[in-house]
């Protein structure tokens, strides 16, 4: 990550990006790691932090087949995330 953006902004964008990916079908650990390029620990921390934004994510399946599903976006407008996805990815420096 670059110092161009604050830690607060990148943390917020990382969280809503992961929630968006889950909501649009990239809903496994492997899929999320591949899509984001994050380290496993960063992804785990991000998933654990989603409730801080009142984004509710449920998991199901066993250890090898664990999948996630967003059940509540709270105050986050999913449409805004969709419309600003490229900017979010630019801030996070991911493709």
Q: Which pLDDT value is given to residue 85?
A: 96
Average pLDDT over residues 42-58: 96
- In terms of pLDDT, which residue wins out, 66 or 22? 22
Tokens read off for 77: 């407008």
What average pLDDT does the structure give for the chain? Answer: 92
Q: Which pLDDT value is given to residue 1?
A: 43
CA gyration radius, the chain: 13
For the question of whether the overall pTM of this predicted structure is more than 0.85, the answer is yes
Task: Kindly report the CATH class assigned to 7-92.
Answer: mainly alpha
Q: Which pLDDT value is given to residue 80?
A: 97
Per domain, the residue ranges of the chain are: 7-92
Cβ neighbours of 52 (radius 10 Å): 10
């Amino acid at each position: 990550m670059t110092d161009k953006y604050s830690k607060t902004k990148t943390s917020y964008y990382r969280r809503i990006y992961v929630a968006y990916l889950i909501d649009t079908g990239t809903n496994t650990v492997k899929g999320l790691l591949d899509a984001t390029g994050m380290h496993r620990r960063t992804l785990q921390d991000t998933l654990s932090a989603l409730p801080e934004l009142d984004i509710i994510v449920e998991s199901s399946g066993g250890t090898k087949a664990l999948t996630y599903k967003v059940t509540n976006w709270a105050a986050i407008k999913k449409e805004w995330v969709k419309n600003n996805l490229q900017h979010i990815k630019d801030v996070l420096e991911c493709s």
